[in-house]
Structure 1
Amino acid sequence: MSQEPATDYVDGVVDVLTQVHTPAELEAKALAYRLRRIAHRLETDVKRELAPHGIELWALELLACLLRAPEHRLTASQLATAMQLTSGAVTNRVAKLEVKGWVVRDFTPHDRRSVTVALTPEGAERAYDVFAVKTEAELNLFASLSAEDQHRLNGYLRTVLLALGDRET
Protein backbone atom coordinates (compact mmCIF):
# COMPACT_ATOMS: atom_id res chain seq x y z
CA MET A 1 0.00 0.00 0.00
CA SER A 2 1.46 3.30 -1.04
CA GLN A 3 0.67 6.29 1.07
CA GLU A 4 -0.25 9.67 -0.42
CA PRO A 5 2.56 12.17 0.05
CA ALA A 6 1.93 14.85 2.64
CA THR A 7 0.84 18.22 1.33
CA ASP A 8 1.79 21.67 2.52
CA TYR A 9 0.22 25.12 2.29
CA VAL A 10 1.83 25.76 -1.11
CA ASP A 11 0.24 22.63 -2.58
CA GLY A 12 -3.16 24.15 -1.80
CA VAL A 13 -2.20 27.43 -3.49
CA VAL A 14 -0.90 25.63 -6.57
CA ASP A 15 -4.03 23.47 -6.80
CA VAL A 16 -6.13 26.61 -7.18
CA LEU A 17 -3.89 27.88 -9.99
CA THR A 18 -3.83 24.75 -12.17
CA GLN A 19 -6.47 26.08 -14.55
CA VAL A 20 -4.60 29.27 -15.43
CA HIS A 21 -0.93 28.24 -15.49
CA THR A 22 1.20 25.74 -17.36
CA PRO A 23 2.95 22.96 -15.44
CA ALA A 24 6.28 24.82 -15.78
CA GLU A 25 4.73 28.02 -14.41
CA LEU A 26 3.14 26.09 -11.53
CA GLU A 27 6.47 24.50 -10.63
CA ALA A 28 8.24 27.88 -10.65
CA LYS A 29 5.45 29.43 -8.56
CA ALA A 30 5.54 26.56 -6.05
CA LEU A 31 9.30 26.89 -5.69
CA ALA A 32 9.09 30.68 -5.27
CA TYR A 33 6.32 30.37 -2.65
CA ARG A 34 8.25 27.72 -0.72
CA LEU A 35 11.49 29.71 -0.79
CA ARG A 36 9.70 32.81 0.51
CA ARG A 37 7.95 30.85 3.25
CA ILE A 38 11.18 29.15 4.36
CA ALA A 39 13.09 32.46 4.27
CA HIS A 40 10.37 34.09 6.35
CA ARG A 41 10.37 31.22 8.84
CA LEU A 42 14.17 31.28 9.12
CA GLU A 43 14.22 35.02 9.73
CA THR A 44 11.42 34.77 12.31
CA ASP A 45 13.10 31.90 14.16
CA VAL A 46 16.51 33.58 14.23
CA LYS A 47 15.06 36.91 15.40
CA ARG A 48 13.16 35.14 18.19
CA GLU A 49 16.32 33.35 19.36
CA LEU A 50 18.45 36.52 19.20
CA ALA A 51 15.97 38.74 21.07
CA PRO A 52 16.91 37.53 24.58
CA HIS A 53 20.54 38.33 23.74
CA GLY A 54 19.75 41.97 22.98
CA ILE A 55 20.79 41.94 19.34
CA GLU A 56 18.75 42.08 16.16
CA LEU A 57 19.42 39.96 13.08
CA TRP A 58 20.32 42.97 10.91
CA ALA A 59 22.91 44.06 13.48
CA LEU A 60 24.49 40.61 13.65
CA GLU A 61 24.60 40.44 9.83
CA LEU A 62 26.31 43.83 9.62
CA LEU A 63 28.85 42.84 12.27
CA ALA A 64 29.47 39.56 10.43
CA CYS A 65 30.12 41.44 7.17
CA LEU A 66 32.77 43.49 8.94
CA LEU A 67 34.29 40.41 10.60
CA ARG A 68 34.77 38.81 7.17
CA ALA A 69 36.30 41.96 5.66
CA PRO A 70 40.02 42.66 5.44
CA GLU A 71 41.09 44.52 8.57
CA HIS A 72 37.42 44.33 9.69
CA ARG A 73 36.49 47.44 7.74
CA LEU A 74 34.42 48.27 4.66
CA THR A 75 33.18 51.40 3.00
CA ALA A 76 29.51 52.20 3.45
CA SER A 77 29.09 51.44 -0.25
CA GLN A 78 30.66 48.00 0.15
CA LEU A 79 28.36 47.29 3.10
CA ALA A 80 25.34 48.34 1.04
CA THR A 81 26.35 45.94 -1.73
CA ALA A 82 27.15 43.07 0.64
CA MET A 83 23.92 43.46 2.59
CA GLN A 84 21.73 44.35 -0.40
CA LEU A 85 20.64 47.63 1.20
CA THR A 86 20.33 51.24 0.15
CA SER A 87 22.99 53.69 1.28
CA GLY A 88 20.42 55.35 3.54
CA ALA A 89 19.62 52.06 5.26
CA VAL A 90 23.32 51.39 5.82
CA THR A 91 23.82 54.87 7.27
CA ASN A 92 20.89 54.34 9.66
CA ARG A 93 22.08 50.92 10.78
CA VAL A 94 25.70 51.96 11.20
CA ALA A 95 24.61 54.94 13.31
CA LYS A 96 22.68 52.62 15.65
CA LEU A 97 25.66 50.30 16.05
CA GLU A 98 28.04 53.22 16.52
CA VAL A 99 25.99 54.39 19.51
CA LYS A 100 26.45 50.92 21.05
CA GLY A 101 30.20 51.12 20.46
CA TRP A 102 30.23 48.15 18.08
CA VAL A 103 31.44 50.07 15.00
CA VAL A 104 33.18 53.36 14.24
CA ARG A 105 32.88 55.53 11.15
CA ASP A 106 35.71 57.44 9.57
CA PHE A 107 36.32 59.23 6.32
CA THR A 108 38.38 57.33 3.79
CA PRO A 109 41.80 59.01 3.84
CA HIS A 110 42.05 59.42 0.05
CA ASP A 111 38.40 60.45 -0.48
CA ARG A 112 36.65 62.51 2.20
CA ARG A 113 33.26 61.80 0.58
CA SER A 114 33.59 58.09 1.29
CA VAL A 115 32.91 56.71 4.76
CA THR A 116 34.71 53.66 6.15
CA VAL A 117 33.00 51.54 8.79
CA ALA A 118 35.25 49.56 11.12
CA LEU A 119 34.38 46.90 13.64
CA THR A 120 35.40 47.63 17.23
CA PRO A 121 36.69 44.92 19.57
CA GLU A 122 33.39 45.24 21.46
CA GLY A 123 31.45 44.67 18.23
CA ALA A 124 33.49 41.59 17.38
CA GLU A 125 33.03 40.20 20.88
CA ARG A 126 29.27 40.81 20.72
CA ALA A 127 28.99 39.04 17.37
CA TYR A 128 31.01 36.03 18.53
CA ASP A 129 28.90 35.83 21.69
CA VAL A 130 25.68 35.23 19.71
CA PHE A 131 26.79 33.47 16.50
CA ALA A 132 26.03 30.09 18.07
CA VAL A 133 22.41 31.13 18.70
CA LYS A 134 21.90 31.93 15.02
CA THR A 135 23.65 28.74 13.94
CA GLU A 136 21.45 26.62 16.20
CA ALA A 137 18.29 28.17 14.73
CA GLU A 138 19.58 27.44 11.21
CA LEU A 139 20.41 23.84 12.11
CA ASN A 140 16.96 23.34 13.61
CA LEU A 141 15.18 24.72 10.55
CA PHE A 142 16.94 22.33 8.17
CA ALA A 143 17.05 19.30 10.48
CA SER A 144 14.43 17.51 8.39
CA LEU A 145 16.93 17.28 5.50
CA SER A 146 19.89 14.92 5.53
CA ALA A 147 23.37 16.39 5.17
CA GLU A 148 23.42 15.08 1.60
CA ASP A 149 20.07 16.72 0.77
CA GLN A 150 21.23 20.01 2.31
CA HIS A 151 24.38 19.86 0.18
CA ARG A 152 22.35 19.12 -2.96
CA LEU A 153 19.84 21.93 -2.23
CA ASN A 154 22.72 24.34 -1.62
CA GLY A 155 24.12 23.44 -5.03
CA TYR A 156 20.81 24.05 -6.76
CA LEU A 157 20.31 27.40 -5.05
CA ARG A 158 23.92 28.43 -5.85
CA THR A 159 23.23 27.68 -9.52
CA VAL A 160 20.19 29.98 -9.47
CA LEU A 161 22.08 32.77 -7.68
CA LEU A 162 25.01 32.56 -10.10
CA ALA A 163 22.60 32.74 -13.04
CA LEU A 164 21.20 35.91 -11.47
CA GLY A 165 24.68 37.42 -11.31
CA ASP A 166 25.19 36.99 -7.57
CA ARG A 167 28.95 36.58 -7.43
CA GLU A 168 31.45 36.76 -4.60
CA THR A 169 33.06 40.18 -4.52
Structure 2
Amino acid sequence: MKSFNLLTEDEINSFLSIAEVFNLERGEYFIREGNICNTVAYVDSGILRSFYTTPEGEEMTYCISFQNSFMTAYSSFITGIPTMENVQAITPVKLLLLQKKDIEQISGNSANWLRFAKIMAENEYLELEKRVFSYQRESARERYRNLLQTRPEFIEQIPLKFLASYLGITPRHLSRLRAEMI
Protein backbone atom coordinates (compact mmCIF):
# COMPACT_ATOMS: atom_id res chain seq x y z
CA MET A 1 0.00 0.00 0.00
CA LYS A 2 1.39 3.38 -1.04
CA SER A 3 1.59 5.44 2.11
CA PHE A 4 3.62 8.51 1.06
CA ASN A 5 6.19 7.35 3.66
CA LEU A 6 3.83 8.56 6.39
CA LEU A 7 2.47 5.36 7.86
CA THR A 8 4.47 3.07 10.08
CA GLU A 9 4.40 -0.67 9.58
CA ASP A 10 2.19 -0.95 12.68
CA GLU A 11 -0.28 1.60 11.22
CA ILE A 12 -0.47 -0.28 7.93
CA ASN A 13 -0.95 -3.57 9.79
CA SER A 14 -3.71 -1.93 11.84
CA PHE A 15 -5.47 -0.99 8.59
CA LEU A 16 -5.07 -4.51 7.24
CA SER A 17 -6.45 -6.04 10.43
CA ILE A 18 -9.74 -4.09 10.25
CA ALA A 19 -10.15 -4.06 6.46
CA GLU A 20 -12.70 -6.43 4.98
CA VAL A 21 -11.72 -8.34 1.83
CA PHE A 22 -14.36 -7.96 -0.88
CA ASN A 23 -14.22 -9.50 -4.34
CA LEU A 24 -16.11 -8.36 -7.42
CA GLU A 25 -16.49 -10.16 -10.70
CA ARG A 26 -16.35 -8.24 -13.97
CA GLY A 27 -19.51 -6.14 -14.30
CA GLU A 28 -20.41 -6.20 -10.59
CA TYR A 29 -20.85 -2.97 -8.66
CA PHE A 30 -19.03 -1.59 -5.63
CA ILE A 31 -21.61 1.22 -5.33
CA ARG A 32 -24.74 2.10 -7.28
CA GLU A 33 -26.41 5.42 -7.94
CA GLY A 34 -28.96 6.28 -5.25
CA ASN A 35 -27.12 4.54 -2.42
CA ILE A 36 -25.15 6.16 0.38
CA CYS A 37 -21.46 5.26 0.38
CA ASN A 38 -19.97 4.71 3.84
CA THR A 39 -16.95 2.75 2.64
CA VAL A 40 -13.55 3.42 1.13
CA ALA A 41 -12.01 0.67 -0.95
CA TYR A 42 -8.33 0.02 -1.50
CA VAL A 43 -7.96 -1.67 -4.90
CA ASP A 44 -5.68 -4.60 -4.17
CA SER A 45 -6.05 -5.95 -7.72
CA GLY A 46 -8.18 -5.28 -10.78
CA ILE A 47 -9.74 -2.23 -12.41
CA LEU A 48 -12.82 -0.18 -11.47
CA ARG A 49 -14.63 2.53 -13.39
CA SER A 50 -16.79 5.32 -12.02
CA PHE A 51 -19.62 6.52 -14.21
CA TYR A 52 -22.89 8.37 -14.15
CA THR A 53 -25.89 8.02 -16.42
CA THR A 54 -27.06 11.02 -18.44
CA PRO A 55 -30.77 11.90 -18.66
CA GLU A 56 -30.68 10.25 -22.11
CA GLY A 57 -29.50 6.99 -20.51
CA GLU A 58 -25.90 7.18 -21.73
CA GLU A 59 -23.16 6.00 -19.36
CA MET A 60 -20.33 8.52 -18.94
CA THR A 61 -17.11 7.09 -17.50
CA TYR A 62 -15.21 9.81 -15.66
CA CYS A 63 -12.74 7.90 -13.50
CA ILE A 64 -10.78 4.67 -13.83
CA SER A 65 -8.99 3.16 -10.82
CA PHE A 66 -6.24 0.57 -10.98
CA GLN A 67 -4.45 -1.59 -8.45
CA ASN A 68 -2.90 0.22 -5.47
CA SER A 69 -5.37 3.08 -5.47
CA PHE A 70 -8.29 4.09 -3.28
CA MET A 71 -11.88 4.34 -4.51
CA THR A 72 -15.10 5.65 -3.03
CA ALA A 73 -18.14 7.67 -4.05
CA TYR A 74 -16.40 10.63 -2.46
CA SER A 75 -19.18 13.21 -2.27
CA SER A 76 -21.59 10.66 -0.79
CA PHE A 77 -18.92 9.47 1.64
CA ILE A 78 -18.36 13.03 2.88
CA THR A 79 -21.98 14.23 2.97
CA GLY A 80 -23.97 11.07 3.68
CA ILE A 81 -26.22 11.93 0.71
CA PRO A 82 -27.07 9.26 -1.90
CA THR A 83 -24.51 9.15 -4.69
CA MET A 84 -25.16 10.02 -8.32
CA GLU A 85 -22.41 7.70 -9.50
CA ASN A 86 -21.81 4.01 -10.05
CA VAL A 87 -18.56 2.19 -9.41
CA GLN A 88 -18.26 -1.00 -11.43
CA ALA A 89 -15.58 -3.67 -11.90
CA ILE A 90 -14.11 -3.74 -15.41
CA THR A 91 -12.07 -6.84 -14.49
CA PRO A 92 -12.25 -9.16 -11.50
CA VAL A 93 -11.35 -6.98 -8.51
CA LYS A 94 -10.10 -7.61 -4.99
CA LEU A 95 -10.86 -4.74 -2.62
CA LEU A 96 -9.93 -4.05 0.97
CA LEU A 97 -12.88 -2.18 2.48
CA LEU A 98 -12.76 0.22 5.37
CA GLN A 99 -15.96 1.60 6.89
CA LYS A 100 -16.29 5.34 7.58
CA LYS A 101 -16.49 4.78 11.35
CA ASP A 102 -13.23 2.81 11.23
CA ILE A 103 -11.52 5.54 9.20
CA GLU A 104 -12.66 8.13 11.72
CA GLN A 105 -11.33 5.97 14.54
CA ILE A 106 -7.88 5.33 13.08
CA SER A 107 -7.60 8.98 11.97
CA GLY A 108 -8.49 10.08 15.49
CA ASN A 109 -5.83 7.79 16.96
CA SER A 110 -3.02 8.60 14.54
CA ALA A 111 -1.77 11.92 13.21
CA ASN A 112 -0.10 9.96 10.40
CA TRP A 113 -3.45 8.55 9.22
CA LEU A 114 -4.96 12.02 9.40
CA ARG A 115 -2.14 13.41 7.23
CA PHE A 116 -2.47 10.44 4.88
CA ALA A 117 -6.23 11.09 4.46
CA LYS A 118 -5.52 14.78 3.80
CA ILE A 119 -2.96 13.97 1.11
CA MET A 120 -5.35 11.47 -0.52
CA ALA A 121 -8.13 14.10 -0.60
CA GLU A 122 -5.77 16.69 -2.04
CA ASN A 123 -4.63 14.27 -4.74
CA GLU A 124 -8.24 13.51 -5.68
CA TYR A 125 -8.91 17.23 -6.03
CA LEU A 126 -5.82 17.74 -8.20
CA GLU A 127 -6.79 14.85 -10.50
CA LEU A 128 -10.30 16.25 -10.87
CA GLU A 129 -8.95 19.71 -11.65
CA LYS A 130 -6.57 18.28 -14.23
CA ARG A 131 -9.45 16.44 -15.96
CA VAL A 132 -11.65 19.56 -16.01
CA PHE A 133 -8.84 21.64 -17.51
CA SER A 134 -8.08 18.99 -20.13
CA TYR A 135 -11.72 19.00 -21.29
CA GLN A 136 -11.74 22.77 -21.49
CA ARG A 137 -8.34 23.31 -23.10
CA GLU A 138 -7.50 20.23 -25.18
CA SER A 139 -8.95 18.59 -28.25
CA ALA A 140 -9.95 14.93 -28.18
CA ARG A 141 -6.76 14.15 -30.11
CA GLU A 142 -4.64 15.90 -27.47
CA ARG A 143 -6.46 14.12 -24.62
CA TYR A 144 -5.88 10.75 -26.32
CA ARG A 145 -2.21 11.54 -27.03
CA ASN A 146 -1.69 12.59 -23.39
CA LEU A 147 -3.34 9.40 -22.21
CA LEU A 148 -1.05 7.34 -24.46
CA GLN A 149 1.96 9.06 -22.93
CA THR A 150 0.92 9.18 -19.28
CA ARG A 151 -1.34 6.15 -18.79
CA PRO A 152 -0.62 3.49 -21.44
CA GLU A 153 -2.23 0.87 -19.19
CA PHE A 154 -5.58 2.56 -19.89
CA ILE A 155 -5.18 1.90 -23.60
CA GLU A 156 -4.15 -1.71 -23.07
CA GLN A 157 -6.65 -2.80 -20.42
CA ILE A 158 -9.83 -0.74 -20.78
CA PRO A 159 -12.60 -1.70 -23.22
CA LEU A 160 -12.88 0.86 -26.02
CA LYS A 161 -16.41 1.95 -25.15
CA PHE A 162 -15.31 2.89 -21.61
CA LEU A 163 -12.11 4.49 -22.85
CA ALA A 164 -14.03 6.59 -25.40
CA SER A 165 -16.47 7.71 -22.72
CA TYR A 166 -13.56 8.59 -20.40
CA LEU A 167 -12.11 10.76 -23.19
CA GLY A 168 -15.49 12.39 -23.86
CA ILE A 169 -15.80 11.02 -27.41
CA THR A 170 -17.71 8.29 -29.22
CA PRO A 171 -16.16 4.84 -29.80
CA ARG A 172 -16.22 5.59 -33.53
CA HIS A 173 -14.25 8.82 -33.00
CA LEU A 174 -11.75 6.94 -30.83
CA SER A 175 -11.30 4.32 -33.55
CA ARG A 176 -10.55 7.08 -36.07
CA LEU A 177 -8.04 8.70 -33.72
CA ARG A 178 -6.31 5.39 -33.10
CA ALA A 179 -6.09 4.68 -36.85
CA GLU A 180 -4.69 8.16 -37.58
CA MET A 181 -2.03 7.89 -34.86
CA ILE A 182 -0.64 4.49 -35.89
- Higher strand proportion (structure 1 or 2): 2
Same fold, judged at TM 0.5 (above) = no
Larger radius of gyration: 1
Question: TM-score if structure 2 supplies the norm length?
Answer: 0.27
